[in-house]
Amino acid sequence: MQAKGGKEQQGAAHDRPDPHQENEGDRGRERKDERDGTGDEIGVVDVPAQLPGGAGGGQAGDEGDRGGACAHHHIFYHRRVRFAITAVGVVSPLGVGEAAFFAGLDAGNLAAMTDADGLTVARVGDFGAKQQIAPGTLRRLPRLSQMAIVAGKEALAKGAPPYDPTRIGVVLGTGLGTLEETIGFMRGYLEGGPEAASPLLFPSSVMNAAAGQLALECKLRGVNSTVNHRDASALSALAMACDLLALGRAEALVVGAVDELSAPALAGYRALGAAGVTLGEGAAMMLVEREDDAKKRGARIRAVVAGRGERGEDRARVGWGRGEAWAEAARAVREAVAGRAVDLVVSGANGSAYDAREAAAVREGLDGATPPALAIVPRTGESFSSPAQRLLAAVHALEAGRASRALVPAFAQGGANVAVVLERG
């Protein structure tokens, strides 16, 4: 997984055992636990220590002047911590704002249309950026960041986290990021040299632009990371956020994903032959915190992240392959479910060859069970970030009493597999 982010707060996990009491047997058992999802409830993460150098100038892992000192910090955390989704925000082709989005889902609305080139697209119309962002700031922001900010502000306003701003952060998934701005900046550099590279475009040309600009607009000074992992970007961001909360790196995180149908994105889809798939865009955000903390402050718990599974395997970087079983995808589902019954799958089915592959992997991961499936992608549009909108659809189904436990899978081109289980709050 490629994760990029700004400077992170060096927070400490709560009530952690003394790291120096760890022995080699514990470390070996933890590695086994990470593989099979069983065993102790205390997890261990080894982090390379930045050791101060002696005469020779030590680096991480340099023991030359430290008398054989350990070159790692051992961070302990509780593996079975649960995480609450306490608010959501959304900018979607189906509607802007939670109420409009959920009403569109319930009504069976379809946002798709056919463009001049024959591609089926679902676009976001006016999403209220002028009402949410000051004019001077708005002029400098790319559209992608504007969507992220509008959705993020909705989640923050409804969740009202009472924590210090240094303990509230952002973990944002995106597949393509600010692709148009990146190409514009690089075109200037390549065609005219360094002098022609626009300093105004550069801040918006990097993959973590939207996450950083969201934090700046909302004055969030905690951990800030961007996850760029193709179709798994959104669920990988949620998994990373849960790890950061378990480690005590934050009290609350704005978590979600954003992508847009920019001109170069459409050109790429056209070249790859995306006929038959509805292409989409949008931003979907959640405010996520530890369940115990949410209960203590009396927050409304919309849903609980009750299970996660992450596995990788060798798959084609483009497309969905031709018949090989996705064994690791099934294992990701099995890890997320952990033997519990699931009564809804919020599927990533999009009208492509992916549909049958996902269904087979989910069925194997659920040991042959076939709970009802909800497929919203043909209505909202497919993008690398569409799993974030599927997470919100799962929250809505749980709150409406249509399910008590929902599985949301994302199996990416290239081989990343992430599955998340949400339970009713």
What SS3 class is residue 35? Answer: helix
What is the number of other CB atoms lying within 10 angstroms of the CB of residue 297? 14
pLDDT above 70 for 16: no
Q: What are phi and psi of 398, to 5 degrees?
A: -65, -45
> Is 257 or 188 the better-scoring residue by pLDDT?
257
Domain map (residue ranges) of the chain: 14-78, 83-296, 303-424
Q: Give which of 138, 132, 139, 134 is closest to 156, Cα–Cα.
A: 132
CB 199 within 8 A of CB 380: no
Q: How confident is the model at residue 290 (pLDDT cuts 50, 70, 90)?
A: very high
Tokens describing residue 220: 């969030």
Q: Give which of 124, 121, 123 is closest to 91, Cα–Cα.
A: 124
Taking only the tens place, the pLDDT of each residue in 43-62 is 554 545 444 443 333 333 33
The CATH superfamily assigned to 83-296 is Thiolase/Chalcone synthase (3.40.47.10)
Tokens 């009713």 correspond to 424
CB 418 within 8 A of CB 326: no
> Is 278 or 62 the better-scoring residue by pLDDT?
278
Question: What is the predicted pLDDT for the residue at 320?
Answer: 75
Mean local confidence (pLDDT), 70-74 = 45
CA distances from 373 to 61, 128, 345, 369, 403 (A): 49, 32, 5, 12, 11
Say if 83-296 and 303-424 have the same CATH topology: yes
Taking only the tens place, the pLDDT of each residue in 341-385 is 999 999 999 988 899 999 999 999 999 999 999 999 999 999 999
Which of 170-184, 293-307, 318-332 shows the highest mean pLDDT? 293-307
Taking the domain 303-424, which CATH number applies? Answer: 3.40.47.10
Cα end-to-end distance, the chain, whole Å: 30
Question: What is the predicted pLDDT for the residue at 79?
Answer: 55
**% of the chain with per-residue pLDDT over 70:** 81
Looking at residue 65, the DSSP 8-state letter turns out to be T
In whole angstroms, what is the distance from residue 177 CA to residue 253 CA?
A: 20
